[in-house]
């Protein structure tokens, strides 16, 4: 009988801890369950731990709120989850993956307001189906690609970053005529 009560207590305790747990940990766990992780780099992301600040690839501030998730070079595949919006103090989510150029049917790429860092991968210009791009309000640096599909996008797509200004085209050559002829 004692075994049944202790099992029931353990289960109830686990559910209470899980329900009252950290919303930020729940958000990161939702991300983890939505990703394929062949290298098991997210194995420390234990949903039974209330505080995700002990997980690898996660950094928190003094109030134990997630400020950084760095999953660079982790060989993860999958989709980002809407629960990432439950990380109000997130300041760093890493660079734009260079492998996005494999998404040759991608039509909309909106990565605005994410505090992404690094440069805009030049190989993204090869996505010929890309119709909408918004990389605004991040911490991107370097040059703005102007070739390929990126030639369609206006400066507002790149606003509020630390990017170099778009190159200005040189003035077109005005043909010069020889010296005026005096008719001689």
Mean pLDDT of the chain: 81
Under 8 Å between Cβ of 89 and 65:
yes
137-180 pLDDT per residue, tens: 888 999 999 999 999 999 999 999 999 987 666 545 555 555 55
Is residue 109 within a helix (H) or strand (E), and if so which, with residue range? strand 108-110
Whole-number pLDDT of residue 18: 42
Residue with structure tokens 């918004």?
Answer: 134
pLDDT confidence tier of residue 2, bands split at 50, 70 and 90:
low
What domains does the chain contain, in order, with CATH numbers? 1-93 (3.80.10.10), 95-167 (3.80.10.10)
- pTM for the full model? 0.55
Beta-carbon contacts of residue 89 (< 8 Å; ≥ 6 apart) = 61, 63, 65, 66, 67
Residue 15 confidence (pLDDT) above 50: no
- Reported residue count of the chain is 184
* Strand partners of residue 66: 60
* Strand partners of residue 110: 134
Task: In whole angstroms, give the CA distance from residue 64 to residue 184.
Answer: 89
Whole-number pLDDT of residue 16: 41
Residue 10 confidence (pLDDT) above 60: no
80-111 pLDDT per residue, tens: 787 887 888 887 777 777 777 888 888 888 88
52-77 pLDDT per residue, tens: 999 999 999 999 999 889 887 788 88
Under 8 Å between Cβ of 76 and 35:
yes
């Amino acid at each position: 009988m004692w075994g049944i009560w202790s099992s029931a207590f353990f289960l109830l305790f686990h559910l209470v801890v899980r329900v009252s747990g950290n919303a930020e940990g729940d958000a990161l766990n939702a991300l983890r369950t939505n990703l394929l992780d062949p290298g098991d780099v997210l194995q420390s992301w234990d949903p039974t731990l209330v505080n995700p600040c002990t997980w690898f690839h996660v950094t928190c501030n003094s109030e134990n709120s997630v400020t950084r998730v760095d999953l660079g070079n982790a060989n993860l595949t999958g989709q980002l989850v809407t629960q990432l919006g439950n990380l109000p103090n997130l300041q760093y989510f890493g660079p734009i993956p260079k492998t996005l150029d494999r998404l040759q049917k991608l039509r909309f790429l909106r990565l605005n307001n994410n505090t992404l860092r690094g440069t805009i991968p030049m190989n993204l210009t090869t996505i010929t189906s890309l119709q909408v791009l918004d990389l605004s309000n991040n911490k991107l640096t370097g040059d703005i690609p102007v070739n390929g599909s990126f030639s369609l996008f206006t400066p507002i797509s790149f606003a509020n970053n630390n990017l170099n200004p778009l190159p200005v085209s040189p003035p077109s050559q005005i043909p010069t005529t020889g010296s005026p002829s005096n008719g001689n």
